């Protein structure tokens, strides 16, 4: 009797483990049908709120020789995911990205088919999963609408509004007709529909502008929303979309009569902050939006006579942020802006040479210093290197030092590139320094020129391949 009871207990325990495993196991599988065989890469990436901590779940799905794919994985709670599929490699590739809903104990099944040379899509007519059918079909309609707009740019506001009405009609009808019982998916689909309406609203007038020189004349009434803005910006699901912050920034701009993508002054940012506090109760969303406005201001700021006044004003606006860490980080970045002014001393950042010895820019004092900020992965940077090397040779022995500072993350990558490209002279590694933050560098290659007193002469010096660099250096060195 004891032995029989023991066997029953072991079987029950094993069954419980198996049941528990199944409870937290999800999966995805399917088939890709292509006209010609190409390399395929599939990634599943968890959508996470912008203020979330930790890394999102990210999986790579193996695609077999028969073009089937599948994977089981541990999942403790339902969630929304980006399903990113890439066909082809390098320059000859195209990408399909869709949002799907996956929950524990469920396997998402879908098949892809190629529609033309530019796209391949999930076959939604074969899907039995009503929740994902709603999400995928919404994706497909939106992508078709966007693609049509890019191929045939709207010429005026009326054309933009026609496209907006098409999307509005589609998502209204699809949500009314859908038979999805999952309340979370239906709520998400509504928020996603609003996000896409906002994407079209602010982007459509720019398509024609980007293809021509003129700007479309857009009246303020164009930006009136057909839904209550708070329905989107106050919903926590909006934080799943990286674009929601820029949408809120654009929305505030238009409410204040600014262009959606205007570069704002501190006074204009303060006007937006007042509207932000009045119209948005989602503190995480409003904090992210204010942070983005201040970061954009920082990226375009150049120090003027009113630096201390601007610094105090900036600090007052940063005080509206909930996080002290964010306030301090932004105010520190503003402090760094003093290094971008003509006549400013070089930052005290400590760099490393190839031998691992510490080097500071002050060590080059007494000579003009032409600095190249670059990285191994930066193609435009690499294209300038031959011209820079030629320049160094031409001015060898003169009162100027050519200093290249790598912004690579790993010193091993930097050293390998130095060897591959046969780079010599003053080669320094700045990947572990705060130099880019101190100099407010937002793109590379970036060239700077300091005078013999160690003062900034040009914040954006001519590149080595330009026609301006030699006459400039000849004039300075002849004085």
Give the domains, in start order, of the chain with CATH numbers: 2-126 (2.60.40.1110), 171-340 (no CATH), 351-478 (3.40.30.10)
CA distance 310 to 300: 13
Tens digit of each residue's pLDDT (9 = 90 or more) over 158-199: 999 999 999 999 999 988 888 888 999 999 999 999 999 999
- For position 336, what pLDDT does the model report? 87
CA distance 332 to 253: 26
State the chain's maximal CA–CA distance in angstroms: 106
Helix axes 469-478, 379-394, angle to 10 degrees: 40
Task: Using the predicted structure, report yes or no on whether residue 154 has a pLDDT greater than 80.
Answer: yes
Task: Using the predicted structure, report yes or no on whether residue 275 has a pLDDT greater than 90.
Answer: yes
Task: Using the predicted structure, report yes or no on whether residue 16 has a pLDDT greater than 60.
Answer: no
Contact (Cβ atoms closer than 8 angstroms) between residue 344 and residue 338: yes
CA distance 216 to 117: 32
- What's the pTM? 0.80
Planar angle of CA 155, 120, 117, nearest 5 degrees? 70
Task: Using the predicted structure, report yes or no on whether residue 13 has a pLDDT greater than 50.
Answer: no
Contact (Cβ atoms closer than 8 angstroms) between residue 69 and residue 108: no
Q: What is the mean pLDDT of residues 287-314?
A: 88
User: DSSP class of residue 63?
Assistant: B
Tens digit of each residue's pLDDT (9 = 90 or more) over 386-415: 999 999 999 999 999 999 999 998 989 999
Task: Using the predicted structure, report yes or no on whether residue 432 has a pLDDT greater than 80.
Answer: no
343: buried, middle or exposed (CB in 10 Å: 19+, 13-18, 0-12)? exposed
- For position 6, what pLDDT does the model report? 55
What secondary structure does DSSP assign to 393-412, as a single string?
Answer: HHTTTSSEEEEEEE--S-HH
**pLDDT category of residue 86 using cuts at 50, 70 and 90:** confident
Contact (Cβ atoms closer than 8 angstroms) between residue 255 and residue 275: yes
CA distance 187 to 212: 39
Residues β-bridged to residue 406: 374, 429
Segment of 67-71, 141-145, 270-274, 355-359 carrying the highest mean pLDDT: 270-274
CA distance 297 to 90: 35
Over the chain, what is the mean pLDDT?
88
Tens digit of each residue's pLDDT (9 = 90 or more) over 31-67: 888 877 778 888 999 999 988 888 899 999 888 888 8
Q: What is the mean pLDDT of residues 289-314?
A: 88
**Least-confidence region, from 15-29, 322-336, 435-449:** 15-29
Please say whether the dihedral angle defined by the alpha carbons of residues 149, 155, 160 and 162, taken in this order, is positive or negative: negative
Q: What is the mean pLDDT of residues 265-293?
A: 95
Q: What is the mean pLDDT of residues 189-210?
A: 91
% residues pLDDT > 70 (the chain): 91
The three-state DSSP-derived secondary structure of 325-393 is HHHHHHHHHHHHHHHHCCCCECCCCCEECCCCCEECHHHHCCCEEEEEEECCCCHHHHHHHHHHHHHHH
- For position 348, what pLDDT does the model report? 84
% residues pLDDT > 90 (the chain): 61
**Least-confidence region, from 237-246, 263-272, 340-349, 387-396:** 340-349
Residue with the bigger pLDDT between 383 and 3: it is 383
- For position 91, what pLDDT does the model report? 60
Tens digit of each residue's pLDDT (9 = 90 or more) over 99-119: 999 999 999 998 888 776 556
- For position 368, what pLDDT does the model report? 95
Q: What is the mean pLDDT of residues 244-257?
A: 96
Task: Using the predicted structure, report yes or no on whether residue 238 has a pLDDT greater than 90.
Answer: yes
**Least-confidence region, from 212-221, 269-278, 318-327:** 212-221
Task: Using the predicted structure, report yes or no on whether residue 95 has a pLDDT greater than 50.
Answer: yes
Cβ partners under 8 Å of residue 348, min gap 6: 360, 362
Query: What distances in angstroms separate CA 423 from CA 112, 117, 382, 417, 427, one per listed residue?
Result: 47, 42, 11, 8, 8
Task: Using the predicted structure, report yes or no on whether residue 92 has a pLDDT greater than 70.
Answer: no
Count the neighbouring beta carbons within 10 Å of the beta carbon of residue 467: 7
Nearest in space to 453 (alpha carbons), one of 436, 435, 476, 437:
476
Instruction: Please report, to the nearest 10 degrees, the dihedral formed by the alpha carbons of residues 417, 418, 423, 425 taken in order.
Output: 150
Planar angle of CA 252, 253, 258, nearest 5 degrees? 155
**pLDDT category of residue 73 using cuts at 50, 70 and 90:** very high
Both tokens assigned to 423: 């780079």
Question: What stretches of 39-182 show up as alpha helix (H) in DSSP?
Answer: 130-151, 157-177
Residues in the chain: 479
Q: What is the mean pLDDT of residues 303-321?
A: 89
Task: Using the predicted structure, report yes or no on whether residue 122 has a pLDDT greater than 60.
Answer: yes
Segment of 1-5, 160-164, 345-349 carrying the highest mean pLDDT: 160-164
Query: What distances in angstroms separate CA 76 from CA 22, 102, 214, 428, one per listed residue?
Result: 11, 11, 52, 47
- For position 14, what pLDDT does the model report? 46
Task: Using the predicted structure, report yes or no on whether residue 306 has a pLDDT greater than 60.
Answer: yes
How many CA atoms lie within 13 Å of 21's alpha carbon, on the beta-carbon side? 7
- For position 396, what pLDDT does the model report? 92
């Amino acid at each position: 009797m004891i032995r029989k009871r023991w066997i029953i207990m072991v079987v029950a325990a094993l069954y419980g483990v198996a049941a528990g495993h199944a409870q937290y196991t999800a999966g995805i599988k399917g088939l890709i049908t292509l006209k010609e065989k190409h390399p395929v890469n599939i990634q599943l990436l968890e959508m996470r709120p912008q203020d979330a901590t930790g890394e999102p779940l990210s999986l790579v799905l193996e695609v077999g020789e028969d073009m089937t794919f599948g994977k089981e994985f541990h999942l403790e709670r339902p969630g929304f995911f980006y399903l990113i599929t890439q066909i082809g490699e390098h320059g000859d590739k195209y990408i399909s990205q869709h949002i799907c809903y996956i929950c524990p104990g469920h396997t998402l099944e879908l098949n892809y088919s190629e529609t033309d040379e530019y796209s391949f899509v999930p076959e939604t007519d074969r899907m039995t999963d009503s929740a994902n059918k709603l999400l995928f079909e919404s994706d497909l309609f939106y992508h078709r609408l966007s693609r049509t707009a890019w191929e045939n740019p709207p010429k005026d506001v009326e054309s933009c509004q026609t496209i907006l009405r098409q999307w509005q009609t589609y998502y209204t009808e699809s949500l009314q007709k859908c038979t999805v019982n999952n309340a979370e998916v239906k709520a998400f689909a509504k928020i996603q529909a609003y996000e896409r309406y906002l994407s079209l609203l602010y982007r459509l007038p720019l398509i024609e502008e980007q293809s021509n020189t003129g700007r479309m004349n857009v009246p303020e009434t164009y930006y009136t929303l057909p839904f209550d803005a708070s329905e989107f910006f106050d919903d926590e699901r909006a934080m799943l979309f990286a674009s929601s912050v820029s949408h809120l920034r654009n929305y505030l701009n238009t409410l204040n009569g600014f262009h959606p993508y205007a570069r704002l002054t501190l006074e204009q940012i303060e006007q937006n902050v007042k509207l932000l506090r009045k119209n948005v109760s989602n503190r995480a969303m409003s904090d992210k939006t204010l942070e983005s406005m201040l970061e954009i201001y920082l990226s375009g700021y150049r120090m003027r006579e009113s630096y201390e006044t601007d610094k105090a004003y900036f600090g007052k606006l940063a005080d509206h942020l909930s996080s002290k860490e964010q306030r301090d980080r932004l105010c520190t970045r503003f402090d760094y802006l003093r290094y971008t002014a003509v006549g400013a001393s070089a930052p005290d950042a400590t760099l490393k040479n190839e031998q691992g010895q510490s080097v500071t820019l002050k060590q080059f004092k007494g000579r003009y210093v032409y600095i190249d900020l670059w990285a191994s992965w930066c193609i435009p940077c690499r294209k300038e290197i031959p011209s820079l090397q030629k320049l160094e040779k031409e001015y060898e022995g003169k009162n100027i030092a050519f200093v290249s500072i790598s912004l690579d993350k790993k010193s091993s990558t930097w050293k390998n590139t130095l060897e591959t490209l046969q780079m010599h002279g003053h080669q320094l590694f700045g990947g572990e320094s705060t130099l880019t933050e101190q100099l407010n560098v937002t793109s590379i290659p970036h060239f700077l020129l300091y005078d013999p007193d160690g003062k900034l002469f040009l914040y954006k010096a001519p590149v080595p391949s330009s026609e301006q660099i030699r006459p400039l250096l000849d004039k300075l060195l002849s004085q």
